[in-house]
Amino acid sequence: MILVNKENMEFHLHNSKISYIFNVMQNGQLGHLYFGKKLKHRDSFTHFFKKPIQGVGIIAHHKDDSAFSLEYYKQEFPSYGTTDFRKPAVKILQENGSRITDFKYDSHKIISGKPKVEGLPSTYVESSNEATTLEIKLIDSVLDCELYLTYTIYENRAVITRNSRLENKGNQKLIIENLMSTSIDFPDYDYQMIHLSGAWGRERHIKTRNLEKGCQYIDSTRGSSSAHQNPFIALKRKNTNEHSGEVFGFSLVYSGNFLAHIEVDHFDSSRVTMGINPFDFSWELNKNDIFQSPEAIMVYSDNGLNDMSHEYHSLFRERLVRGIWRDKERPILINNWEATYFDFNEDKLMKIVEESSKLGFELFVLDDGWFGERNGDDSSLGDWFVNEKKLPNGLSGLQEKISKYNMKLGLWFEPEMISEKSELFKKNPHWVLGVSDRTLSLGRNQYVLDLSFEEVQSYIIEIVGERIKEGKISYIKWDMNRNMTEITDKSKAHKYILGLYKILDTLTANFPEVLFESCASGGNRFDPGMLYYMQQTWTSDDTDAIERLKIQYGTSIVYPTITMGAHVSDVANHQTARITSLDIRNKVAFFGNFGYELDISKFSDSQKLEVKENLEYFKENRKLFQFGDFIRLSSPFESNFVSWMTVSSDKSEAIIGYYEILADANPTYNKKIKLKGLNEDFLYKINDEYEAYGDELMNMGIVFDQPHRYYSSDSQSLDFHGKLFKLTKIN
Ligand code: DGJ
């Protein structure tokens, strides 16, 4: 999968889908030649390398060649300080105040498989023939500093992963001000940039903008990857849609401050860089120190956004998420948060358990409020000891009772935080993250623990572990409800994330049977870094079915449905006050990691029956919902009619979700949804109603009747309604 043209020093990474080509330029630095659809290998790609027309303004990098200026060349990992005036991928402050670097090719290694990215989460292989890795060593001889660029190409995926690493071999202290994970110079800027932007309660909405001359970027400075911008961008051609056209995806396996930056220069080339945010970042590198960047995952498709998403979904599902839960169907949970908030005791919880077990729920999740004196959000974070006033039999007593109903117990934690009103704060006020000469900001009445301290890491590992053992906990919801402020120094935010990863590495290794769900006020840290440790993420606190259409649709651009927690909650909805039917709430939540969070014991018998039937339907189709290929058909960002589908890998089964947000009067009788991803020769049965071949369903579409609009005093609103179509291949 990796060929080297030794004469011209060209590297060609290729598989059946993509090619990625770069070379060693005449000055010893790396030049970029091509990334895109697979190309036939040739002994030379030198014709891809165009020298600029010599003209006004060139500052020659080399006195022997007046046309050689880095400003005009496509590069692979550009440095700062010589003749390139665009944003660099690496910037290092030296003892003499200079930031100039000149990393030249020294040697390379080809490795079968994929080495671990030290100390950081990353995608992996299970056998060495799944992927091949190229490691390029570059040296700045003035600094005696080595830069390693690592590229992995998987055998059957349109994916290149990259990371970079600096090793200081010299005697001077170096300060890294910027080390990107990836950098690539595209020859033109005829692209639109897609990113996933939002805020609490409306995470990962799809935003699209044309690239323009100059710089454009998204980033996070909050200490978490954030709900505001996800660590992902894509560049697509203007005519690329869900099903056709070129697109390049960039995703960062990191949970802290990141930057995704695009600079379009005066000759129309677009430089994409992605990595840890250089804003408020620096890292001291003394002799023999190593600094490792996170992994960036680049995907190429010429078959539209769905195909790019499919590459991310299958990679994340199969080679990012780990542990025994990776390939297992996930339990249907019921969570008590919106049912009780802080106001519960064992009796109240057991009522929910008793009712929900009859309806088919498999896991009861006890949310916030079970520990210390936590009766509101102003105390006890850090005191992870059971509140015996609420739970007189402790976690073990509760677990025993729950197990009698054939259900498992899950538990909420927010281990990264500390309340001022807590025993932990009295004992260890110095564990709080923040500078001492400033007033510390409070978020939800809490401070952040400084996870870069080893004693803090050990405390969390120990206390969480004790509770897991005590309550035979099967599932953990790991919350994190505020961003970092008053950060002490420029390395702190990254050190915090390294501390977090260390804690998670240990806990997940110690308790491999526990299913972890990452939560940060919902989706404030929905990123591939967290997915490496925690198999699923609470997508958003916003559980309104209509809002969820946008949130789940946007999230699916990068993340597979099995990673997205999706719950049915009460109406009026606690985030939007909207009233929707139980029917549509189920039909939206099915396309995620399905669960409920409401007080089921208050439901009427007919509502309970509806819940039971929905759970049965979900269980029958759970594999298809959780492991099928998810395809977006019609976008809530563009239409009143939303649809998506999931198809089994052998294409013998599919379920289509169709949703109408607002009812229209006198609608067309001719509504059709054109499906995708089926086998055109298979004959499918549709909801036991009629039969059609795959080619009809994909080209003519599913045809269906609109519910009849009429008015009578007891008529139900047709706003917010949904329909599912189950397709089954007829043998
Ligand atoms: C924020 C989470 O997103 C909610 O689901 C809930 O767990 C609360 N925190 C509890 O404080």
- Residue 564, domain CATH: 3.20.20.70
Asked if the structure places residue 477 within a domain, the reply is yes
Asked if the structure places residue 188 within a domain, the reply is yes
% of the chain at pLDDT higher than 70: 99
Q: Residue 64 has what pLDDT?
A: 77
Q: Residue 543 has what pLDDT?
A: 98
Check pLDDT > 80 for residue 50. no
The strand pairing partners of 182, in sequence order, are: 274
Q: Residue 707 has what pLDDT?
A: 72
User: Could you tell me the CATH number of the domain that includes residue 160?
Assistant: 2.70.98.60
List of E strands, 505-599:
515-518, 536-538, 564-569, 593-597
Check pLDDT > 90 for residue 54. no
Average pLDDT for residues 666-671, to the nearest whole number? Answer: 82
Distance CA 467, CA 475 (A): 12
Check pLDDT > 80 for residue 315. yes
User: Could you tell me the CATH number of the domain that includes residue 706?
Assistant: 2.60.40.1180
Q: Pairing mode, if any, of strands 475-478 and 408-413?
A: parallel
Span from the CA of 399 to the centroid of ligand 1 (angstroms) = 21
Span from the CA of 200 to the centroid of ligand 1 (angstroms) = 12
Give me the sign of the Cα torsion angle 582, 585, 590, 594: negative
Q: Which of 224, 366, 481, 525 to mutate to test the pocket of ligand 1 (most atoms within 8 A of CB)?
A: 481
DSSP state, 379? B
Q: Domain tally for the chain?
A: 3
Same domain flag for 371 and 506: yes
Q: Which of 365, 526, 538 to mutate to test the pocket of ligand 1 (most atoms within 8 A of CB)?
A: 538
Confidence of residue 69 (pLDDT cuts 50, 70, 90): confident
Q: Residue 731 has what pLDDT?
A: 75
Same domain flag for 568 and 676: no
Asked if the structure places residue 628 within a domain, the reply is no
Check pLDDT > 80 for residue 672. yes
Average pLDDT for residues 113-134, to the nearest whole number? Answer: 98
| 318, 346, 378 - which closes a domain | 318
Pocket of ligand 1 (CB under 6 A): 337, 367-368, 412, 479, 481, 519, 521-522, 538, 541
Average pLDDT for residues 58-63, to the nearest whole number? Answer: 74
Q: Residue 504 has what pLDDT?
A: 98
Same domain flag for 417 and 305: no
List of E strands, 555-712:
564-569, 593-597, 629-634, 641-647, 653-660, 672-673, 683-686, 690-693, 702-703
Residue nearest to atom 9 of ligand 1 (CA): 521
For the chain, the average pLDDT equals: 96
Asked if the structure places residue 208 within a domain, the reply is yes
Distance CA 363, CA 291 (A): 42
Q: Which of 224, 334, 340, 367 to mutate to test the pocket of ligand 1 (most atoms within 8 A of CB)?
A: 367
Quick check: 189 and 269 in contact, CB under 8 A? yes
For the CA of 522, the closest atom of ligand 1 is 3
Same domain flag for 663 and 703: yes
Span from the CA of 516 to the centroid of ligand 1 (angstroms) = 15
Q: Angle CA(107)–CA(109)–CA(112) in degrees, nearest 5?
A: 170
Residue nearest to atom 3 of ligand 1 (CA): 521
Q: Pairing mode, if any, of strands 593-597 and 564-569?
A: parallel
Q: Residue 448 has what pLDDT?
A: 98
For the CA of 521, the closest atom of ligand 1 is 3
Identify the weakest region by mean pLDDT among 314-318, 537-541, 713-717. 713-717
Same domain flag for 17 and 51: yes
Check pLDDT > 70 for residue 86. yes
Same domain flag for 407 and 456: yes
Identify the weakest region by mean pLDDT among 440-444, 549-553, 706-710. 706-710
Q: Residue 357 has what pLDDT?
A: 98
Span from the CA of 536 to the centroid of ligand 1 (angstroms) = 15
List of E strands, 17-95:
18-24, 30-37, 90-93
Confidence of residue 651 (pLDDT cuts 50, 70, 90): very high
DSSP state, 362? -
Check pLDDT > 90 for residue 714. no
Check pLDDT > 70 for residue 55. no
Same domain flag for 589 and 689: no
Q: Residue 668 has what pLDDT?
A: 81
Asked if the structure places residue 387 within a domain, the reply is yes
Check pLDDT > 90 for residue 66. no
Confidence of residue 715 (pLDDT cuts 50, 70, 90): confident
Span from the CA of 683 to the centroid of ligand 1 (angstroms) = 46
| 587, 622, 657 - which closes a domain | 622
Q: Residue 514 has what pLDDT?
A: 98
Same domain flag for 582 and 704: no
Q: Which of 479, 534, 537, 574 to mutate to test the pocket of ligand 1 (most atoms within 8 A of CB)?
A: 479
pTM score over 0.85:
yes
DSSP state, 129? G
Span from the CA of 478 to the centroid of ligand 1 (angstroms) = 9
Identify the weakest region by mean pLDDT among 33-37, 82-86, 100-104. 82-86
Residues annotated as part of the active site: 479, 541
| Full residue range of the structural domain in which residue 709 is found | 641-729
Span from the CA of 366 to the centroid of ligand 1 (angstroms) = 11
At 569, list the tokens. Answer: 């909650």
Distance CA 208, CA 527 (A): 20
At 268, list the tokens. Answer: 């129309």
Asked if the structure places residue 18 within a domain, the reply is yes
Same domain flag for 186 and 100: yes
Same domain flag for 314 and 337: no
Q: Residue 665 has what pLDDT?
A: 84
Distance CA 429, CA 199 (A): 31
Span from the CA of 482 to the centroid of ligand 1 (angstroms) = 11
| 274, 293, 318 - which closes a domain | 318
Check pLDDT > 70 for residue 157. yes
Residue 346: Cβ-neighbour burial (10 angstroms; 0-12, 13-18, 19+): middle
Identify the weakest region by mean pLDDT among 57-66, 176-185, 311-320. 57-66
Quick check: 519 and 255 in contact, CB under 8 A? no
H helices then E strands: how many in the chain? Answer: 12, 38
Asked if the structure places residue 535 within a domain, the reply is yes
Same domain flag for 398 and 251: no
Q: Which of 521, 526, 551, 574 to mutate to test the pocket of ligand 1 (most atoms within 8 A of CB)?
A: 521
Span from the CA of 521 to the centroid of ligand 1 (angstroms) = 6
Contacts of 11 (CB under 8 A, 6+ apart): 2, 3, 4, 5, 21, 22, 23, 108, 134, 136
Residue nearest to atom 2 of ligand 1 (CA): 521
Distance CA 523, CA 407 (A): 27
Same domain flag for 603 and 715: no
Asked if the structure places residue 588 within a domain, the reply is yes
Quick check: 686 and 727 in contact, CB under 8 A? yes
Tens digits of residue pLDDT in 380-404:
999 999 999 999 999 999 999 999 9
